[in-house]
């Protein structure tokens, strides 16, 4: 029933479909245009609607394994927040999340917004163990879970944290998540308990289909997989750069859409070919009978 | 809704939780008691579970091992526990056939539980010598380290039957595709919805969500365990009733002239 | 489903593999000889001095001060620099020592590239390079998670609760060394019971911690599932089947959408019914439920593909950008030779 | 005897957790239990590590085929554990520069960090990436229109695959505004929004029931295979 095709040919086709567009892209720097779908537009609008100086909780719930999809989202979120002069407070439910947060800070804030000061305009509070347990506690007492920032400075002495005692005190919460604990837990334990709180999520493709059932109720907006990241990145570029040139580090998601397109086309071709083989074999059997 | 944030029965949300929890437990317990008293429900066929015997038998005939993967999460996950209970049934069958059963695990506590359960199954079947603790061994906690091992082991040992019962993430397809490449019979069961499509595409049989949790009760054949399955069905019927009632209420609400006083869950304020 | 048995390659398997590895090695050697070469890592040593200050609550905090200030402690660490930064520094002052070539990180980079290719090679078939990689990753990751569990869980949650003063002085200087927390004796006791089975006496006691874990988490998960899954999901599905727009007009699509969701949830629930044979009306509803399940699985599959391709793209980017230095989309290297080739390539592509 | 005590522990633990949301005094019990579990799991590493050492040493001493790979695994395990526990190459944390052990074990520049970055990350993320190939071969083999169910599965995957890239815009972008709902990218959103939501909700509700029922079976000791065989 395999149609006599060695699966290694399939692998080769997929490899070329992904590798060649990357090389093409790297040489020409071209990307495809993006038109935003409602969940991505909703993310953009939710951040646009905040007044300057609002504090935003950003949770980095992923590790290097999912960086390909999620790091461009983190970069775009951070760039948008900085452009709007909002103040991100970074936490993580994954042990390697704080490192990813630090990378985003140095790629975006230190590179393009050097006037922003840690502790006043942004802060990285690091990781806490306990998965959804952490979320339950910050619902009532944020400082109990995150008493110090990553360098050991007590939160009580950080201007950015003034007046923040629980998660409901933030104007907006963003989770960038790769699995458990992640968006689902944020919805279950934070969004449900704080009806007025606006929650945005950036999720991997695997999670997207599950998380969709929470949008637009408990989740105000979501970026689904690299496509969502590319759409949002385009929206942010349009508002930050206008007609000017976007620096290459802010086109990462859109660059990844080219291998995506050809990978999908290979898959579609394979499904069509598989069915062609199937029907031709079935036809032959019918004749034989 | 945060546990303990506003404890006590005064809170309407807690009240609701308490009622639903009590009703669920009551239905399941009542059906269990009824089944013990002789009213054993007839359970519909679950094809994936009927195939367990066939798969084990085939492995024995071919003289190849059986691979059982109880997921990659720890014992705090209900799917892992369900996987271990299925393991004890599979081990019982394997002991009867005297087939080789390999259980690589990715958590130390799971190794502990799996050893206990396989040993118990061997004793029950009257084959205590069949049990070999070294066949149930710890590999690594790392998801893809474990997958690397499983893929390599499948290519070398060529198991004839593969069971994937527990909580799986991205490694599901690595396991299932490599199992498919060596032509093994594959039976999967998980409640991790994101991985179900891959098992459905690559395995011969897949237990979907609730079916997976029902597996050990189904395989045990014990009346009281089968009774709990009927209890689940009764709760499902109640849920459907409440749902229909809620839909009717919401629909009549839509016809009322003034806008609803509080936004429904689906409408962003 | 069908099974495609992939027959092992011909008997001359070993030779075939050696040939493939040789071809790859030659290609890499050629690449390394062209232009600016490939796969080098650079570092710069950052040195920061810290001075202590005591606040009114008696807590000591360290903050960065000018180098070599009296009573300060200095921390030196190596941080990454790009090839472009190295080249710029060399251009400014030849033979500078600030940004330098790093042997250990360069070896690491090449090792990472080897492992990446070795894992890909398993797609062609099992081979020595994959076996090597597999043995390494099993050992490394087991050791890694054990060490992480020690530093992230055992030290802060167990040892620091029972001996806070000791831990504060040893490795957690920011710990609030208050009273001893005796609650931590419970997990310690459970752990000792678990490990007691290594001794002949503990055969039976070793089961109690498992029973504790399984019992408590059965209760905990029951609550969280009933609360967030049954109650919340049912509530979210109580939708009006007739929807009117803001202006009072009948919204047909929104009504159909709600109807489909409600019907879909009900039919799929019927599929999961165990104690009734799927025949007659129940069978028909269950069949519709299966259709909904299939659409759900199809969409989940389609979405997951996106993620997997993105990950594959990221691995190729590692090989092309960080190791082979073929392309430079982020502008980390400013290399005359390769960028000239890239420009030529792009102008060619543009004409097509 | 030992089994009866174990069953009692299981039942009491479960009941306590079941009532804990309704007791004011029980605030935080769920977190405590989770912490205890993590500690227990960390201590259980002794068992897992012991099993790993034993299996690999047995292979090594038997000198069967592939014993060299066992030696490699052992070496990798011991070296990683040693540099991780010993914080080899870790510099002090800036918040306490005088406390030598204050740095994090995976700080940039440490040996543990090097192993993580250059050995573990490339292998694990490449294995993750290899899924792109497996997805392709699985789709080729399994997505065949054999019956209504299989056709729905493959048609949905088809629409999502097209609708989530530029191809969707190219293929159906010409549709007029009144038919914009049929554009592939919007069709993809509709599938997610309606069918996927409905299917997932039912699965989730079913799973919750399965968890509840399994929980009851475990607490009552109907399912006690994990407790082993002998009395």
Per-residue pLDDT tens digits for D48-95? 999 999 999 999 999 888 899 999 999 999 999 999 999 998 888 877
8 Å CB contact of B268 and A65? no
Judge whether C66 is closer than 8 Å to chain A, CB to CB: no
Say if residue C341's pLDDT is above 60: no
CATH number of the domain residue A43 falls in:
3.40.50
Nearest by CB: B144 against D30, D127, D229:
D127
| Residue span of the structural domain in which A171 resides | 38-250
Q: C159 vs A67, C154, C164, C171, D90, CA distance in Å?
A: 34, 6, 7, 11, 21
Say if residue B268's pLDDT is above 60: no
In this prediction, what percent of chain D has a pLDDT beyond 70?
99
CA distance C25 to C27: 5
Query: Which residue has better confidence, B231 or C62?
Result: B231
Question: Looking at chain C, which subunits does it touch, using at least 3 CB pairs closer than 8 Å as the criterion?
Answer: A, B, D
Q: What six digits make up the tokens of C289? A: 């439920």
Say if residue A3's pLDDT is above 50: no
Residue A216, preceding bond cis, omega within 30 degrees?
A: yes
A87 and A161 fall within a common domain: yes
8 Å CB contact of D161 and A264? yes
Task: Count CB pairs under 8 A between chains C and D.
Answer: 425
Distance from CA of A54 to the nearest CA of C (A): 28
Burial group, residue A3, by CB count within 10 angstroms (0-12, 13-18, 19+)? middle
Q: Which of C115, C124, C128, C141 to mutate to test the interface with B (most CBs of B within 10 A)?
A: C141
> Domain tally for chain C?
2
Give pLDDT, residue A283: 75
Say if residue C142's pLDDT is above 90: yes
Return the residue matching tokens 């009542």.
B30
D22: which chain B residues are within 8 Å (Cβ-Cβ)? 7-9, 14, 18
Going from N- to C-terminal start, the domains of chain D cover 143-231
Distance from CA of A68 to the nearest CA of C (A): 5
Give pLDDT, residue B9: 53
Give pLDDT, residue B101: 96
Q: B269 falls in which pLDDT band (50, 70, 90)?
A: very low
Domain assignment present for residue A33? The answer is no
A264 and A221 fall within a common domain: no
8 Å CB contact of B208 and D203? yes
CA distance A46 to A52: 13
Distance from CA of B44 to the nearest CA of D (A): 16
Give pLDDT, residue C77: 84
Give pLDDT, residue A243: 78
8 Å CB contact of C237 and B144? no
| Residue span of the structural domain in which C97 resides | 39-101
Return the residue matching tokens 């549709």.
D175
pLDDT tens-digit map of D179-191: 777 788 778 878 8
Domain assignment present for residue C20? The answer is no
Say if residue A66's pLDDT is above 70: yes
Mean pLDDT for all residues in chain D = 88
CA distance C297 to B198: 8
Looking at C80, C101, C122, which one is the last position of a domain?
C101
Say if residue A82's pLDDT is above 50: yes
A246 and A259 fall within a common domain: no
Domain assignment present for residue A100? The answer is yes
Say if residue B162's pLDDT is above 80: yes
CA angle A214, A220, A224 (to 5 degrees): 70
A153 and A232 fall within a common domain: yes
Give pLDDT, residue C213: 94
Q: A152 falls in which pLDDT band (50, 70, 90)?
A: low
Q: C343 falls in which pLDDT band (50, 70, 90)?
A: low
A270 and A150 fall within a common domain: no
8 Å CB contact of C228 and A192? yes
Give pLDDT, residue A157: 82
pLDDT tens-digit map of C87-139: 888 888 888 889 999 999 999 999 999 999 999 999 998 999 999 999 999 99
Looking at C288, C303, C318, which one is the last position of a domain?
C303
Q: Which of D126, D137, D221 to mutate to test the interface with C (most CBs of C within 10 A)?
A: D126
Instruction: Indicate if ipTM > 0.85.
Output: yes
Nearest by CB: B108 against D48, D142, D153:
D48
- Residue B4 three-state SS: coil
Could you tell me which residues are beta bridge partners of residue C74?
C49
Give pLDDT, residue C335: 43
Q: What six digits make up the tokens of C197? A: 């089975």
Give pLDDT, residue C334: 62
Domain assignment present for residue C67? The answer is yes
Residue of A nearest to C343 (CA): A27
In this prediction, what percent of chain A has a pLDDT beyond 90?
37
pLDDT tens-digit map of D129-180: 999 999 999 999 888 888 999 999 999 998 888 887 777 778 887 788 777 7
Q: C2 falls in which pLDDT band (50, 70, 90)?
A: very low
Q: What six digits make up the tokens of C41? A: 């890592």
Residue of D nearest to B10 (CA): D22
8 Å CB contact of D46 and B108? yes
Domain assignment present for residue C229? The answer is no
A190 and A280 fall within a common domain: no
CA distance C59 to C48: 22
Predicted TM-score (pTM) of this structure = 0.89
Give pLDDT, residue A1: 40
Domain assignment present for residue A2? The answer is no
A135 and A167 fall within a common domain: yes
Return the residue matching tokens 């999502």.
D160
A155 and A212 fall within a common domain: yes
Domain assignment present for residue C137? The answer is no
Q: What six digits make up the tokens of C213? A: 């874990």
> Domain tally for chain A?
2
Give pLDDT, residue B2: 40
Q: What six digits make up the tokens of D185? A: 């990218």
A165 and A225 fall within a common domain: yes
CA distance A284 to D114: 59
pLDDT tens-digit map of C149-189: 999 889 988 998 999 889 888 888 877 777 888 989 999 99
H runs (alpha helix) in B101-222: 108-124, 143-157, 171-181, 196-202, 210-220
Domain assignment present for residue C257? The answer is yes
Its CATH class, for the domain covering B47-220, is alpha beta
């Amino acid at each position: 029933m395999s149609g006599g095709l060695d699966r290694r040919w399939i692998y080769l086709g997929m490899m070329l479909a992904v590798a060649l567009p990357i090389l093409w892209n790297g040489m020409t720097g071209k990307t495809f245009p993006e038109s935003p779908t409602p969940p991505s537009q909703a993310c953009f609008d939710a951040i646009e609607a905040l007044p300057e100086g609002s504090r935003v909780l950003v949770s980095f719930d992923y590790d290097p394994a999912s960086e390909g999809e999620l790091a461009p989202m983190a970069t775009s979120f951070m760039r948008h927040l900085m452009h709007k002069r909002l103040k991100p407070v970074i936490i993580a439910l994954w042990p390697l999340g704080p490192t990813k947060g630090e990378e985003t800070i140095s790629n975006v804030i230190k590179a393009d917004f050097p006037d922003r000061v840690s502790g006043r305009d942004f802060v990285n509070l690091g990781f806490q163990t306990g998965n959804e347990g952490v979320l339950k506690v910050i619902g009532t007492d944020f400082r109990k879970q995150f008493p110090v920032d990553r360098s050991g400075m007590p939160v009580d002495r950080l201007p950015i944290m003034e007046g923040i005692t629980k998660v409901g005190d933030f104007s907006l919460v963003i989770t960038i998540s790769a699995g458990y604990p992640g968006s689902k837990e944020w919805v279950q334990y934070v969004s449900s308990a704080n009806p007025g709180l606006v929650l945005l999520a950036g999720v991997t493709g695997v999670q997207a289909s599950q998380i969709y059932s929470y949008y637009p109720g408990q989740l105000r907006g979501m970026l689904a997989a690299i496509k969502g990241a590319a759409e949002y990145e385009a929206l942010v570029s349009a508002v930050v750069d206008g007609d000017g040139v976007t620096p290459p580090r802010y086109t990462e998601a859109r660059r990844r859409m080219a291998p995506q397109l050809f990978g999908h086309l290979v898959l579609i071709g394979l499904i069509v070919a598989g069915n062609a083989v199937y029907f031709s074999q079935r036809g032959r059997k019918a004749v034989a009978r | 809704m945060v546990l303990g944030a506003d404890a006590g029965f005064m809170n309407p949300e807690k009240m609701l939780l308490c009622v639903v929890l009590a009703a669920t437990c009551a239905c399941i317990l009542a059906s269990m008691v009824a089944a013990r008293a002789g009213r054993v429900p007839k359970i519909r066929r679950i094809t994936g579970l009927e195939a367990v015997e066939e798969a084990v038998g085939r492995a024995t005939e071919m003289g190849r091992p059986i691979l059982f993967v109880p997921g990659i999460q720890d014992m705090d996950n209900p799917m892992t526990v369900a996987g271990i209970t299925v393991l004890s049934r599979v081990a019982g069958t394997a002991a009867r056939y005297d087939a080789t059963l390999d259980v690589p695990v990715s958590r130390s506590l799971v190794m502990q539980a799996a050893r206990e359960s396989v040993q118990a199954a061997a004793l029950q079947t009257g084959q205590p010598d069949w049990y070999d603790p070294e066949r149930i061994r710890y590999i690594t906690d790392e998801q893809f380290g474990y997958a690397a091992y499983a893929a390599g082991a499948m290519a070398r040992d060529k198991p004839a039957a593969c069971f994937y019962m527990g909580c799986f993430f991205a490694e599901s397809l690595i396991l299932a595709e490599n199992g498919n490449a060596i032509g093994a019979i594959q039976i999967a069961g998980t409640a991790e919805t994101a991985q179900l499509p891959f098992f459905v595409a690559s395995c011969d049989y897949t237990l979907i969500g609730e079916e997976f949790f029902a597996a050990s009760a189904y395989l045990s054949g014990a009346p009281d365990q089968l009774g709990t399955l009927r209890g689940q069905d009764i709760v499902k019927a109640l849920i459907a009733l409440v749902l229909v009632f809620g839909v009717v209420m919401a629909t009549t609400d839509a016809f009322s002239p003034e806008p609803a006083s509080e936004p429904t869950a689906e409408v962003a304020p | 489903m069908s099974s495609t048995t992939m027959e092992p390659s011909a008997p001359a398997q070993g030779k075939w593999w050696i040939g493939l590895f040789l071809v790859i090695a030659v290609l890499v050697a050629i690449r390394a000889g062209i232009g600016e070469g490939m796969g080098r890592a650079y570092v710069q040593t950052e040195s920061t001095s810290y001075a202590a200050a005591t606040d009114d609550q008696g807590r000591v905090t360290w903050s960065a001060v000018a180098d070599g200030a009296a009573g300060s402690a200095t921390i030196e660490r190596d941080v990454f620099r790009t090839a472009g930064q190295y080249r710029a520094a060399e251009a400014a002052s030849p033979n500078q020592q600030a940004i330098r070539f790093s042997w250990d990180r360069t070896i690491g980079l090449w090792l990472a590239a080897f492992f990446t290719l070795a894992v890909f090679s398993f797609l062609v078939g099992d081979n020595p390079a994959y076996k090597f990689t597999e043995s390494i990753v099993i050992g490394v990751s087991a050791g890694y998670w054990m060490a992480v569990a020690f530093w992230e869980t055992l030290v802060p949650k167990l040892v620091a609760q029972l001996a806070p003063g000791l831990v504060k002085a040893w490795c957690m200087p920011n710990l609030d060394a208050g009273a001893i927390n005796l609650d931590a004796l419970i997990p310690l006791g459970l752990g000792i019971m678990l490990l007691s089975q290594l001794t002949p006496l503990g055969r039976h006691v070793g089961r109690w911690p498992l029973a504790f874990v399984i019992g408590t988490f059965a209760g905990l998960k029951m609550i969280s599932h009933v609360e967030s899954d049954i109650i919340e999901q049912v509530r979210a599905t109580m939708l009006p089947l007739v929807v009117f727009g803001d202006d009072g007009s009948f919204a047909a699509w929104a009504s159909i959408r709600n109807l489909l969701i409600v019907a879909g949830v009900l039919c799929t629930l019927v599929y999961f019914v165990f104690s009734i044979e799927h025949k007659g009306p129940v069978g028909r509803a269950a069949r519709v439920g299966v259709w909904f399940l299939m659409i759900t699985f199809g969409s989940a599959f389609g979405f997951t593909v996106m993620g997997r391709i993105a990950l594959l793209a990221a691995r190729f980017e590692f090989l092309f950008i960080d190791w082979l230095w073929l392309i430079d989309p982020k502008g980390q290297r400013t290399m005359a030779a390769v960028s000239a080739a890239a420009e030529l390539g792009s102008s060619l592509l543009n004409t097509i | 005897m030992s089994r009866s005590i174990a069953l009692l522990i299981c039942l009491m633990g479960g009941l306590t957790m079941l009532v804990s949301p309704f007791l004011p005094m029980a605030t935080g019990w769920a977190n405590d239990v989770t912490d205890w579990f993590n500690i227990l799991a960390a201590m259980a590493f002794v068992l897992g590590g012991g099993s790993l050492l034993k299996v690999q040493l047995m292979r090594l001493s038997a000198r069967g085929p592939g014993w060299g790979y066992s030696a490699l695994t052992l070496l990798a395990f011991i070296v990683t554990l040693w540099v991780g526990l010993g914080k080899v190459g870790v510099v002090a944390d800036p918040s306490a520069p005088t406390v030598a052990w204050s740095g994090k074990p995976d700080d940039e520049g440490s040996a543990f960090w090097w192993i993580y970055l250059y050995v573990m990350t490339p292998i694990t993320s490449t294995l993750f990436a290899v899924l792109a190939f497996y997805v392709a071969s699985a789709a080729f083999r399994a997505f065949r229109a054999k019956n209504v169910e299989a056709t729905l599965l493959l048609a949905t995957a088809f629409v999502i695959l097209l609708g989530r890239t530029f191809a969707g815009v190219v293929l159906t972008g010409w549709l007029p505004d009144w038919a914009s709902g049929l554009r592939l990218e919007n069709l993809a959103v509709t599938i997610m929004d309606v069918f996927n939501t409905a299917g997932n909700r039912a699965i989730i509700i079913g799973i919750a029931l399965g968890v509840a029922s399994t929980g009851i079976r475990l607490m009552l000791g109907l399912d006690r295979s994990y407790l082993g065989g002998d009395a």
